[in-house]
Amino acid sequence: MSSTSPTQRNAQAKLEHILRHSAQIFANQGFEGTSVREISRATGVSLSGLYYYFESKQELLYLIQNNTFHVVIERLRIRLQGVADPQSRLRVFIQNHVEYFLSHPNEMKVLSHEEEALNEPYRTEVAAIKRQYYGLAREIYNAVASESLPSRISGRVAVLSLFGMMNWVYKWHRPDVDPGANELTDAILGIFLHGVSPVAAEANELSAAGSRTIDSV
């Protein structure tokens, strides 16, 4: 039985509602261009009701960013359980990130464009959880690199480049013409590990053929 009371569940659901709609209006109008009164209209929550959940617009921006990172990290930890193969763990990491932000593009836009809008102590707190997420990515990447990647490649450059690929998806992805999360994950993983050159494509085909041969034995 859950230890969370109905009142607590209702409060959490209402907070998530506020954060989701606030992220949308921040994404559309920008943090500075949005008033709390506009957030009240967009969420359908009174001003006094909003201030029950946050004390200022700064805190609201912090809650959006902090909640987003916590959800992404928690989902990642759950999905990594029982996955030992380094490349499989890297694929889980990419898919978890891509799936979440394809379905939450407003949050991704707020994270990307409103990072500098946070004041202290909120900026330091968000920076800390971002370092935690980066640390998980480095741990996963290092395991892959130790097995199959050239040691001359900087882990920092590699991981930040991967984030660059994943974080920009929300900007260009069109569901009517572009692949869904699974196929997109495979594409990003393949480009990250092997590139897009003809030589890399040939290596991918040989690798796939080798996998089929092993499977048939």
32-49 confidence digits (pLDDT tens):
999 999 999 999 999 999
In a domain, 69, yes or no: yes
Q: What is the pLDDT of residue 150?
A: 72
171-191 average pLDDT score: 94
In a domain, 203, yes or no: yes
pTM for the full predicted model = 0.86
In a domain, 1, yes or no: no
CATH of the domain at 124: 1.10.357.10
Domain count, the chain: 1
Distance (Å, whole) CA 88 – CA 25 = 37
Helices and strands: H and E segment counts in the chain? 11, 0
Chain centroid to CA 38: 27
Cβ-count burial 99-111 (b if 16+ within 10 Å, e if not): bbbbebbbbbbbb
Its domain, for residue 202, covers 6-216
pLDDT tens by residue, 118-145: 999 999 999 999 999 999 999 999 999 9
pLDDT tens by residue, 88-113: 999 999 999 999 999 999 999 999 99
In a domain, 33, yes or no: yes
Q: C-alpha distances in angstroms, 62 versus 126, 131, 143, 178?
A: 7, 16, 32, 32
